[in-house]
């Protein structure tokens, strides 16, 4: 069995540090899949512990991404990028950094897609942010910088009840290699108020690696959703200001699968 060499696993540390209005920080260990979207069927065929659109210990479902609107993620993503004004004619390879489903359960706070030309040059990237209401929103990075992609953009999405909607996201995505380094910070007119970083080391994508990850990071996606709610409770105990989901609907824009709280009532 010869496994595709363009897909890997990253064992990572996730770090969050809130600076204002009250300090609160944490870090924890996770793993991510670095998937060439053209490899997924081969990985499904060759691995016992990974499947596409089927239940397994670890699996990838096309419907978990792009608002569930596309049967094939790569085909759908090319349409999404084109809708953002990106010339997709040079794109040959798209790679995705995301959590897998674990025993059928998925929650991906942010998924990153990187698009490359035939010679391996980076062309564009897209961040797909998902909140606990299962809404999704895209942030397209149309031009690479010296070491990857950098992009500052209005958030206009309800990510956390403890973050205002009029903040900006400051993305910096270094191109993944042996090491992974991504930062996504929340900023306002006073500067950075929430720092987030994802750092990791590349591993082989194999049944052995998946089994090791299953032992080292048990029930990964359940752990992630639990920690989100746990730290929300700690922020509430610290009396960090709280923002309602239904408030400021006009600041929740271009949302996929919008929650009923922001959908205008029919007259």
If phi over 0 gives left and psi between -120 and 50 gives alpha, with beta otherwise, what is residue 102? beta
What does pLDDT average to over the chain? Answer: 95
Instruction: Spell out where the chain has E strands.
Output: 8-18, 24-36, 50-52, 58-60, 93-98, 101-102, 110-116, 122-130, 136-141, 148-154, 168-174, 179-188, 191-204
Global pTM? 0.95
Q: What is the pLDDT of residue 224?
A: 96
pLDDT of residue 130: 98
Name residues of the chain where pLDDT drops below 70: 1-5, 265-267
Residue 264: predicted pLDDT: 78
- Note the pLDDT tens digit of each residue in 88-101: 999 999 999 999 99
What does DSSP assign to residue 256? Answer: B
pLDDT digits (tens, 9 = 90+) for 217-244: 999 999 999 999 999 999 999 999 999 9
pLDDT at position 1 is 36
Which residues, at least 6 apart from 81, have a Cβ–Cβ distance to it below 8 Å? 88, 91, 115, 124, 126, 140
For 7, residues 6+ apart whose C-beta sits below 8 A from its C-beta are 33, 34, 35, 36, 39, 43, 95, 205
Residue 2: its pLDDT value, please?
Answer: 38
d(CA 222, CA 240): 25
């Amino acid at each position: 069995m010869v496994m595709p060499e363009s897909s890997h696993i990253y064992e990572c540390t996730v770090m969050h540090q809130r600076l204002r209005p009250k300090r609160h920080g944490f870090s924890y260990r996770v793993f991510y899949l670095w998937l060439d979207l053209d490899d997924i069927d081969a990985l499904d065929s060759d691995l016992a512990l990974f499947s596409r659109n089927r239940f397994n210990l670890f699996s990838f479902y096309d419907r978990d991404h792009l608002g569930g609107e596309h049967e094939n993620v790569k085909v759908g993503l090319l349409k999404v990028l084109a809708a953002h004004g990106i010339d997709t004619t040079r794109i040959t390879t798209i790679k995705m950094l995301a959590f897998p489903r674990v025993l059928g359960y998925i929650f991906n706070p942010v998924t990153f897609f990187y698009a490359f030309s035939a010679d391996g040059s980076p062309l564009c990237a897209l961040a797909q942010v998902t909140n606990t209401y299962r809404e999704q929103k895209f942030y397209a990075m149309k031009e690479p910088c010296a070491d990857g992609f950098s992009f500052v953009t209005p958030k206009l999405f309800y990510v956390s009840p403890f973050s205002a909607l009029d903040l900006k996201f400051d993305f910096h995505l270094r191109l993944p290699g042996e090491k992974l380094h991504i930062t996504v910070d929340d900023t306002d007119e006073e500067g950075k108020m929430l720092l987030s970083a994802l750092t990791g080391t590349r591993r082989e994508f194999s049944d052995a690696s998946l089994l090791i990850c299953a032992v080292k990071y048990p029930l990964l996606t359940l752990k992630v959703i639990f920690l989100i709610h746990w730290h929300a409770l700690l922020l509430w105990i610290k009396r960090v200001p709280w923002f309602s989901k239904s408030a400021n609907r006009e600041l929740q824009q271009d949302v996929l699968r919008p929650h009923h709280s922001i959908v205008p009532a029919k007259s």
